[in-house]
Structures are given as C-alpha cells and as structure tokens.
Amino acid sequence: MADGERKAAVSVVWAWAVSPLVMVLGVIAGLRRPAYWAAGAGVALAALLIWWLPEFALPDGAADGAGGAGLLVLNAAAVMLPGVHLSQVLTRRGVHGALREWVRELPLPGPAKIALVVAGIAPTVEALTGFGVSLLVTVPVLLALAPPATALRQAMLGMNVMPWGTLGLATVIGAALTGTGTAELGTATAVTSALVFPLMTVWAALLARPRRRFLAALVAAGAGGTLSLGLLALNLAGAVQPAGVLAGLCTTALGLTLCAVRRRDRAGRGGGHGAGHGDGRGGGRLVPPRVVLSAYGLVLGGIALARAATAAGVPPLELHAGGAGFALLSSPGLPLLAAALVLDRGRLRGGDVRAAFGRVGRPLLALTGFVVLGRLMADSGMIGELGAAVAGAPPLVTAVAAPALGMLSGFLTGSNVGGNALMMPLQQRLAPDGAGLDTWFAALQNSASGHAVFTSLPMIMLILAVAGDSLPSRRSAGPDADVAEHTLLRFGLGVAVGVYAVLAATAAFLVLLHGG
C-alpha cells in the first residue's frame, strides 16, 4: 500500500510539473489566443506552483538565472529589430519587388522553378531577414505559377529553414540554452534536418501535378539535397549564422548554372527561338538584379567584416550571466543595421523604425514569456520531474518521443526560438544517460521545432495576409477565410506527419548508432 501511495504521489507531482505546458497548449489550441497570452498564462501557473508546492522551489542562484534569461532575450532582440527594419528598407527600396520579378521571369519549367523557390530563394531570404519576410517574395511568384490553393501550400513548404532563419538565431539561442558550442549544435542540426529539405521540395514540386512526375521529383530532390549538403558543409566550417543565406545562394546558383547549360544546349540544337511561350523556359535573365546582389552582399560582407574584426583581436563586447552570453560584435544585428543604413544613405526613417518595433513587439513579448517559463520549469525542478518520468523508458521510445515534443513546441509558439526556449531543457533530460546523445537530442529539438513552425496558425495567417489581394474576393474575407485557414492547417498537419516520420527515423538511427 505504501508503495502504491508513493507511486500515486509521484504521478500527482508529474501531473503538476507538466501542467504549465498543458496550459500553453490549451490557451493556443483551445482558446485560440495569441502566443504571448499563452506564455503569460504558463508563467503565471508555473509561479503559482513554485509558491504552492514544496516539491518545486527555485535555487539560491535564481537571480543569476534571471540574468541569463535576459541575455537570451537580448540576443533575440538584437537580431529581430534590425532584421525587420532591414526588411522594411528592402521593401521600400524595391529590392523585394526586383527579386520577385526576377524569379517570375526565370527561364525554367514550372516544377523546376518551384523547386528553386522552395529550396533556394525562400531559404535565402528567410535566413537573412526572418519573420516570414520571404513570403513577400515567394507568395506572389507561386501564385503566378499555380492556382491559389496550390501556391499557398507551396509557400508553406518554403518556410522550413527556421533553424537557420534570422541568421541562425534559433540555433544560437539553443546553443546558449544547452551550453553547447554554436557550430557543434549547428552541425548536428544539419544532420538531423538533412532529409527534411528534400522531402519538402519534392512535396512542393508534386503539388503542381507535373506531367513528368518522376523527373520533377528527381529535380526537386536534387535541389533539396543541395540545400542540405550546403548547410552541413557551412556548419562544419563554423559559419552557422550565415549558413542559411549561403546554402540558399549555393542552391540557387547551381540551379541557374544548370539552367544556363540547358539553354545553351537548346540554342545549339536550334531550339532557342520561340522557347518560353507559356512554359516559362525562354527569356529571363539568369543573374539577379544589381539591387538584389548589392543588398545581400552588404549583409554578408558586414558579417564577414565582424568575424574578421573578432579574429584580429577586437573585443567582442561580451556580457555573461546564468550560463548565457551576448557578444555585440558577434551578433548579426550590427551588420543588419549597417546594411539598412547604407541602403538608406545613413538615415533612419521614423516610419520604418516604428513599423519594426510594431512588428517585433508581440513576438518578442511571447519569446520573453517562453524563455521565462522554460527557466522557471528548469530551475524549479519541473523539467527534472518530467525527465525522471521517462527515464525508465527504452531509448528507442525516448527517441521517437523527442521529435514529437519538438514539433509540438514549434507549433504552439509559432517560433523556432520560442519552441527551443520552452522545450530545450527537457530534451536534454530525455537523452539516454551515458550515450553521448545530449547534443543530438538538442539538435532534434532545434530541427523539429523549426520544421513545425510552418503549420502554426500565426504563419498561416501571415501567408493569407500576404496573398489576400491576389486571392479571389470570396476567399479574402468572411467565413470563407476561415475555410482557407483550416484547409491550410489540415494540409500543414498532414505534412508534419511526414516530417515527424523522417525525424523519428533519424532519432532512432542515432540511438541505435550510439548503442541505445
């Protein structure tokens, strides 16, 4: 009887430990409130449990933990604000418009162009700016290539470079949360995500119902595989922050090179004239407009200059607290801000600054809430209770559970960074003891959270908002808008099942490889 009572008490403590996560799920999925509401509700419940239950108590170094949480938020804000400001400048100065028109006129057949957009253009733009800014480019292009129902699904699939989005912000934050080297976590994430990018690109190409399905799938798989290999090589080289931009550019460059060879061969056979009427294969320049190259070159050049400065011994202006750190010179925020200032000839426009703060305010508030919630749960022992509850599970069971938890965090928060802040400490506890899998489980969290963001309601609503003026009027407002939202949500959840299967298989392989 005593043993039964003990087990019942453990079950009750475990139920209380998981209740803040259940609260977040209920507020977002049940009440359909914004992420910052859910984060606030979770924090309030966690604080109440710490005050009420003796099993959960904050250690003496709680103030240091609060400082660490503050530095994590500062890391994010230092990239988010300049990144969104830069996107405002790029839009106003016509850079996004020029890129959109260039992609639209590329001399490629439809499925190949879709693969290039999903595995090349979208990752490049999203990795540079984040916050779904790539949708300003990809949604209009895809709407010109396919019916709205298909185009919006393809745009969703292009939002999957999140672990390297906003110049690798989620990976940097994840590394800080786990005490792992940024390059080490980035490389492990590139491995765990390796199969996801070909899957997404093939899915997007086949949505267009091409006549030659096998060839279209093969081309798309090649484009997605090129992105995966580029990310792996760049992270191995330590270039984590610009990895998404550079890998997307490499994928785009390879696609354009093959396009140039194909066009030259067609011209040599006398088939160059008249090509492109109705199939998108003729005309069009292969080199992006100068305004696009200069804007992206400014950011990448700024990052390279900052890296060279730190390598030359310039102090990075670092702050450290609670196991977290912030280095001003190593943050991509300065290159982003410098690029915006150069493009605007040294001026800061009040409208752009206000728009940046307005757009970043709620996501940053939600992120702060999830960082605080994650810290409270970790420091008070709630994460330890959850980890202990699954400690006795077979390693393979834990392996297939880890991607599910990661995807849940990305779906709930609508953010790779927020998902990591919420779930990364738990994922570390899930790693089998003594198997050397801590970094791999952190990478699974980073991958799973990022690859589930495209299914979240905030991202779906952003896609519909960007496409609103281009959709038929009956679907842009009223009850039909809800139909479109729920249709995209169902599609996203269906794709998420495929992503989960890939990540779970990868996790199981890693556990077996390490003797689990």
Side-chain half-sphere exposure of 404, counting CA atoms within 13 A: 7
The segment with the largest mean pLDDT, out of 29-38, 206-215, 372-381, is: 206-215
What sign results for the dihedral spanned by CA atoms 458, 463, 466, 467? negative
Whether residue 187 is predicted with pLDDT greater than 70 in this model: the reply is yes
- Name residue 375's amino acid: R
Q: Do the beta carbons of residue 367 and residue 40 sit within 8 Å?
A: no
> 414 and 35 in contact (C-beta within 8 Å)?
yes
Range of the domain at 183: 2-513
- The pLDDT of residue 469 is 47
Exposure b/e, 225-250, CB count within 10 A at least 16 = b: bbbbbbbbbbbeeebbbbbbbbbbbb
At 148 the pLDDT is: 84
pLDDT at res. 445: 93
Give yes or no for residue 8 having a pLDDT over 70. Answer: no
Q: What is the mean pLDDT of residues 269-281?
A: 47
Share of the chain above pLDDT 90, in %: 25
* pLDDT single digits (tens) 390-419: 666 788 888 888 898 888 888 877 778 878
CB 467 within 8 A of CB 136: no
Q: What pLDDT does residue 343 have?
A: 92
* Residue 251 banded pLDDT, cuts 50, 70, 90: very high
Q: Please state, in angstroms and rounded to a whole number, the distance separating the CA atoms of residues 15 and 9.
A: 10
Cβ–Cβ < 8 Å for 116, 208:
no
pLDDT for 516 equals 60
SS3 content of the chain, % helix, strand, coil (to 5): 75, 0, 20
Weakest-pLDDT range from 30-39, 129-138, 219-228, 492-501:
129-138
Name the band, by pLDDT with cuts 50, 70 and 90, for residue 15.
confident
Nearest Cα to Cα of residue 238 among 187, 290, 199 = 187
Q: Give the pLDDT confidence of 464-498 residue by residue, as tens digits.
A: 766 654 555 544 444 434 335 667 878 888 899 99
DSSP assignment of 82-101, as one string? HHHHHHHHHHHTTHHHHHHH
Beta bridge partners of 327: 318
Residues 107-116: pLDDT tens digits?
777 788 899 9
Among the ranges given (110-119, 127-136, 286-295, 473-482), the one the predictor scored with the smallest mean pLDDT? 473-482
How deeply is 159 buried, as exposed, middle or buried, from its count of CB atoms within 10 A (0-12, 13-18, 19+)? Answer: buried
Q: Quick one: which of 118, 190, 187 has its CA closest to 159? A: 118
pLDDT over 90 at 44, yes or no: yes
Residue 193 has pLDDT above 60, yes or no: yes
Model pLDDT for residues 144-157, shown as the tens digit of each residue: 788 888 889 999 99
Of the pLDDT bands very low, low, confident and very high (cuts 50, 70, 90), residue 433 is low
Q: For residue 429, what pLDDT is reported?
A: 77
pLDDT value at position 307? 74
Q: Return the pLDDT at 263.
A: 74
Listed in sequence order, the residues at least 6 apart from 267 whose beta carbon sits closer than 8 Å to its beta carbon are none
444-473 b/e with 16+ CB inside 10 Å = b? bbbbbbbbbbbbbbbbbebbbebbeeebee
Closest CA to 225 of 194, 256, 258, 200: 194
- The tokens for 28 are 């977002």
In a 3-state reduction of DSSP, which class is residue 178?
Answer: helix
The pLDDT, as a whole number, for residue 69 is 78
Is the separation of the CB atoms in 330 and 306 below 8 Å? Answer: yes
Name the least confident of 113-122, 223-232, 361-370.
Answer: 361-370
325 has which bridge partners?
Answer: 320
pLDDT of 483 reads: 37
Residue 300 has pLDDT above 90, yes or no: no
Number of domains in the chain: 1
Quick one: pLDDT band at residue 11, thresholds 50, 70, 90? Answer: low
Distance (Å, whole) CA 246 – CA 229: 11
Locate the DSSP E strands across 299-394: 318-321, 324-327
Using the structure block, give the residue that is written with the tokens 């556990």: 511
Tell me the pLDDT tens digit for each residue of 199-222. Answer: 999 999 999 888 889 999 999 999
Count Cβ neighbours within 10 Å for each residue of 315-350 and write b for 16 or more, e otherwise: eeeeeebbebbbbeebbbbbbbbbbbbbbbeeeeee
Mean predicted confidence (pLDDT) in 3-14: 62
∠ Cα 185 172 386 (to 5°)? 70
Q: What is the pLDDT of residues 19-28, one digit of tens each?
A: 888 888 788 7
